[in-house]
Amino acid sequence: MQRILVISPSGEVYDHDNVRWYNYKDTQRSINHYHNIGDAFVFDSSLKLLNYDKLDALEIAKPNLADIDRINAEYDYVFLRGSNYIHKDMNWENAVEVLKRLKIPVIAWGIGAQAPVKGKLELSEQSKTMLRLMADSTTSIGVRGAYSAQILWDLGIKNVRIVGCPTAFRRNKPDLEIKLRPLDQIRTAGITLRREVSGTYARNIEQYLTFHRDMVKEMATRFDVVLMAQGEVEEKKIVFGTPEQREEGIAELKANGWVSKWYLDETMEKLHRERLFYSDVVADYEDLVQQKDLVLGYRLHGNLMALANGTPSVYFTYDSRTVEFAETYQIPSFDVFSGKTFSLEEYWDQSLFDKFNRAYRFMYREMRQFLVENGADTKMVDVMKKPTRAADKTVAIKAA
């Protein structure tokens, strides 16, 4: 068993390897604070793949540099929770100064790059230094896909392994497969929402939001749907708020020009009032997707949570992150800017999900190899190692 540290934990840990938002029962405390619960999915999933007997956070905002010698002596490694760190606006705070003093490995685990709609991705010198420090401290640096790998390669970082995201493997099932039932037997669906959007990464806001709206409305006519939010303030007010706060959340959505014009019509407002789901507890999302016949939508980790639990999912891609995830795992996906009409029937095809099934098994092995080669004690199964037969065990005992 190991003693480990995490950079950017994104929630409090309970029962050893479960994550929820800080003071999660006091919903009023954070009702006006945006935090993406998808980040907690990744943290929770990471812990479920590791063996450790002590976990602490490595402070990078206001570090005690005098404490680094003790950290080097007491801990086995640090891991950086996978997220979208490689972009032009990333602020690493004082992490560079901390990492320069660390002598234990700093494992970058499933990190990713975000490409702008126009032009080349530009990174700060701080980001370049941070990435090189992590790569130099480990056998490999783990990224979510080919685009992120290329960005690091262009920086001269060659010890890159594509590992996807820990969320895909949170159930630790090396032989997981998605098997489709006939579409006419599908009754319930979860729809992962991403109403907030930036023109920096999604090239046509109107097309993005109108497609989003129409897709949700169509699915609601076909299935018993739940709309799955992931931390936006307005949606949290609708779910957690007092009656006054619920109306305030709706009013704030209507006051947003893009949302009121292209997204929140009368039907969508009704669905948000009656079918919206949000929780500050990762396990609640897992319970939800396990009860659904289908999950589809815009959220990277919400969709991946479903797939990890054997629930079919279709991705709607709109930026480099969503495309990279879909490509890494060969997940059936639809480009919202393609100009085509989405038909669920075209994606309800076992051969498409068999591509995911094959990619999943390959990526499981890659993820395990990444952890092993970087010295992390992992729960992941060595699928390349043949189990010992009972007869062999008997011979071994007798020989001893």
Sheet holding 276-277, edge to edge: 276-277, 224-228, 188-192, 294-297, 313-317, 333-335
Task: Write down the pLDDT at residue 119.
Answer: 84
Chain-centroid distance, C-alpha 278: 16
Query: 305 CB contacts (<8 Å, ≥6 apart)?
Result: 41, 167, 170, 285, 286, 289, 295
The domain spans of the chain are 3-172+359-373, 183-356
pTM, rounded to two decimals: 0.94
Task: Write down the pLDDT at residue 394.
Answer: 33
Handedness of CA 43, 44, 50, 54 (dihedral sign): positive
Q: Is 183-356 assigned to CATH 1.10.10?
A: no
Which residue is it, tokens 């929402």?
A: 193
Specify the amino acid at residue 15: D
The CATH architecture one would assign to domain 3-172+359-373 is 3-Layer(aba) Sandwich (3.40)
DSSP character string of 178-227: --PPPGGG--EEEEE------TTTSS-HHHHHHHHHHHHHHHHHHSEEEE
Task: Write down the pLDDT at residue 386.
Answer: 56
Q: Can you tell me the distance from the alpha carbon of 186 to that of 287, in angstroms, rounded to the nearest whole number?
A: 18
Q: Can you tell me the distance from the alpha carbon of 31 to that of 234, in angstroms, rounded to the nearest whole number?
A: 9
Task: Write down the pLDDT at residue 385.
Answer: 77
* Domain 3-172+359-373 matches domain 183-356 at the CATH topology level: yes
Specify the amino acid at residue 4: I
Q: Can you tell me the distance from the alpha carbon of 265 to that of 37, in angstroms, rounded to the nearest whole number?
A: 26
Range 213-229 burial, b when 16+ CB lie within 10 A, else e: bebbeebbeebebbbbb
Token pair of 104 as six digits = 């234990």
Could you tell me the mean pLDDT of each successive run of 10 residues in the chain, 400 residues long? 95 98 95 95 98 97 93 98 93 96 97 90 96 98 97 97 98 98 98 89 91 98 97 97 98 96 98 98 98 97 97 96 95 96 98 98 98 98 69 34
Handedness of CA 186, 347, 144, 201 (dihedral sign): negative
Half-sphere exposure of 305 (CA within 13 A, CB side): 32
Query: 331 CB contacts (<8 Å, ≥6 apart)?
Result: 303, 307, 313, 314, 315, 325, 356
3-state helix, strand, coil in the chain (%, to 5): 45, 15, 40
Count CB neighbours of 367 within 10 A.
Answer: 25
